[in-house]
Amino acid sequence: MRTFRSLTHRISLAAIAAAFALIVAPAMAATPISGLSLDQAGESVTISGTIAAFTASTGERIPNRLTVADDSGQVTVVIWPDVFGQLSPTPAQGAAVTITGEIGEYRNQLQVRVSDAGNVTVTSGGAAPAAAVPSPTGTPVTAAMEGETVTIAGQIESLRASGNPRAPNTLIVKGSHGEATVVIWPEVFDAISPAPAVGNSVRLTGPVGTYRDNVQVAVRDAANLQILDDAGSVISQAPAGTADTSAASAATSTSADAAGEAVAMAISDIDGSTVGKRVILEGRVVAFRASWSERAPNIISLSDGTSTIPVVAWADTWNALTRKPAEGDTIRLTGEVQLYEARNEIQVHLQSLEFPQ
């Protein structure tokens, strides 16, 4: 019994000593940013420096990105919205920070990923970045920035008008960032007053994406593109047609639509303004492409005589159908209008399907 008590006593002392050691142990020394490498992927590191740039998240699946710089170099720090929302004070451009995170890689670029709000310490300059007005980037817009929201300024070198409601207007804008492709969907473009034209100087904000391996910036709100005069002052006014558009929407909306229920409509009426809405479509299957892997959907090309649209049927929905549609079938379906940004394509994601008599 005495031996057991003695052993218990020694274990207790060891546990206390270990806990005390953790309390008094010095914090992990900061690693110079120039000393980080992709060979350390998965390792935990601590860095200290100043936030040289900040890009806020634009969605729950898009992280906040901080460019942290010290005397030796700079690195991108990635913080997802759920973690970022717990930070206090909130780090902003110009703030001094100490950050502990895991080394990772995205598109062959090294990142430090933060998974715990307790691993970010703002030593000075904390603020609310959402209130900050973004400054035009002077660096090229690249694929490594996909998902980030950027602001660029320059001159419109060319403009290719949209050919239909489901194709964007495409601008080439040259400035200190180099040359950037900018896409603007018709309903957004038509709300900009005066309308952008070749030769205009502009300042615009939007998320970076890729389409057929081409990098582009998407302007999703008319207020996010401003036309500038020779002195750099804004000359564009409030978005055109705002009142008329609202009135038209009020006149054509139904109680079902307002309640979030599916609304029957022609395919030709589906455009960027209907993204996120549930619709009922009826038409003929003019083509069908079966899924080629578990992570790829089945694609139905549906035509109602006014237009054709791709209908995406993921495995769970497709496998639940008692009868599968085939080319030539007439079908009635309910689905949600979504934008597939990688292809600049509006699709309908299938929710249910029936074969009308």
What is the reported pLDDT for 130?
Answer: 42
- Using left for φ > 0, alpha for ψ between -120 and 50, and beta otherwise, residue 3 falls in alpha
Closest CA to 338 of 272, 247, 251: 272
Closest CA to 333 of 344, 343, 342, 321: 321
What is the reported pLDDT for 180?
Answer: 92
Taking the C-alpha atoms of residue 177 and residue 191, their distance in angstroms, rounded to an integer, is: 26
Q: What is the pLDDT of residues 61-87, one digit of tens each?
A: 567 888 898 888 889 898 988 888 888
What is the reported pLDDT for 148?
Answer: 82
What is the reported pLDDT for 342?
Answer: 60
Residue 67 · residue 98 · CB < 8 Å: no
| Alpha carbon 74 to chain centroid, angstroms | 23
Closest CA to 215 of 36, 341, 86: 341
CA 248-253-258 angle, to 5 degrees, is 135
What is the reported pLDDT for 283?
Answer: 92
Eight-state DSSP code of residue 234: B
Closest CA to 189 of 227, 151, 157: 227
Taking the C-alpha atoms of residue 131 and residue 14, their distance in angstroms, rounded to an integer, is: 50
Question: Could you give the domains of the chain?
Answer: 33-131 (2.40.50.140), 143-228 (2.40.50.140), 253-354 (2.40.50.140)
Mean pLDDT by 10 residues, the chain (357 residues): 50 50 53 90 92 70 80 87 84 87 83 92 67 60 83 92 80 90 86 87 87 84 83 61 36 39 87 82 91 83 88 88 91 88 77 88
Q: Where are the alpha helices (DSSP H) in 163-283?
A: 186-189, 242-252, 255-258
The two three-digit tokens of residue 267, written as one number = 């395919």
The values of phi and psi at residue 105, to 5°, are -140, 140
